[in-house]
Amino acid sequence: QGCTQKYIVKNYFYYYLFKFSAALGEEIFYITFLPFTYWNIDHSVSRRMIIVWSIVMYIGQVSKDILKWPRPLSPPVVKLEKRTNAEYGMPSTHAMAATAISFSFFTATINQYKYPFELGLAAAFVFSTLVCLSRLYTGMHTVLDVIGGALISAVLLVLLYPAWDTIDHLLLTSPFCPLFSIVVPLVLCYNYPKLDYYSPTRGDTTTILGAAAGATVGFWLNNQYAASVYAGKSVQPGLPVITSTMVFVLGRFSVGILVVLLTRWVMKSAVLGVLGYRYKFPIGDLAARRRLEVEVPYKFVTYSSVGFTATVIVPLLHRLLGLM
């Protein structure tokens, strides 16, 4: 498991295609893509995707550590990634996330925007298929892992779809939403299944639930106290893209990502500093940062701040800068 296999790339098209496709299934992509949809496309679409993403990913991550199915053996398989090698394999959360995000985006937009049904369905299928195939190409999952992940995600989508509007309404209007959105994810993170060795699954799950919690509180706050910042300004698929629209889209995205990354850096440094002082460890001590009492609060507070900033602070800044 610890040895590094050498390999020769014979087809650079497949190599870069599937390396790029694998990146589309990473948490960092969704934490970038989901705010983009909120800033530039549609609030309701973004809210629904975040709900689905957080639920699907939590179930997928927990399932891995309950089932404890190993990843493909290496050798003979050549693994092109190392970070996730410590995780178990079944189900593939890349496959789950890609299926959930692509098809939830499709189902949330097909009735709101004018574009061919076949085109939207094909785009969702291609996106999810590329991510699924990338997990096989990089040697990180078996075929069964990928099929299992995609099927679990599909079942969850079918079960969640009838409740989308109800859940969305409650998250926007219930006075208990902020408390529920923070307490429930925290309880789930602190009671994550324990393993005999360290795995990044708990940290990744905390990152996802934290980002979703912060965004959900932001959704509620915006609905209670602020008008829709982007009303009438969203980009409509199928319409000719004009230069001025692209300038606003790129401006909103650039400003938003800069603020989000700055928030992440500031909060990570601040929270780790406080926890380091509390538990007497240097910030650079990786082993200490992996302890439950450190990892969960540091990642949850950091990424809930990111989610809140993306949905509340960034839109206000867009308004001040005239980027609406």
| Average pLDDT, integer, range 287-297 | 86
Separation between Cα atoms, residue 278 and residue 280, nearest integer Å: 6
233 occurs within a structural domain: no
List the catalytic residue out of 43, 94, 169, 318.
94
44 occurs within a structural domain: yes
Q: What are 117-167's pLDDT values in tens digits?
A: 888 899 999 989 988 888 888 888 888 989 999 999 999 989 988 888 888
The predicted structure's pLDDT at residue 216: 92
Q: Tell me, yes or no, if 169 is annotated catalytic.
A: no
Res. 6: pLDDT tops 80: no
Q: Tell me, yes or no, if 318 is annotated catalytic.
A: no
The predicted structure's pLDDT at residue 39: 84
Res. 77: pLDDT tops 80: no
Give me the number of domains the chain comprises. 1
The predicted structure's pLDDT at residue 241: 45
1 occurs within a structural domain: no
The predicted structure's pLDDT at residue 114: 80
102 occurs within a structural domain: yes
Least confident span in 12-21, 41-50, 140-149, 233-242? 233-242
The predicted structure's pLDDT at residue 155: 92
The predicted structure's pLDDT at residue 287: 83
125 occurs within a structural domain: yes
Tell me how far CA of residue 118 lies from CA of 10, 115, 123, 201, in angstroms: 35, 9, 9, 36
- How does residue 85 score in pLDDT terms, banded at 50, 70 and 90? low
The predicted structure's pLDDT at residue 112: 78
232 occurs within a structural domain: no
Q: Are 214 and 263 in contact (CB under 8 A)?
A: no
Q: What are 240-260's pLDDT values in tens digits?
A: 445 667 777 888 888 888 999
Q: Where are the alpha helices (DSSP H) in 1-92?
A: 12-23, 27-40, 43-67
Separation between Cα atoms, residue 161 and residue 237, nearest integer Å: 22
65 vs 262, which has greater pLDDT?
A: 262
Residue range(s) defining the domain that contains residue 286: 12-227+241-321
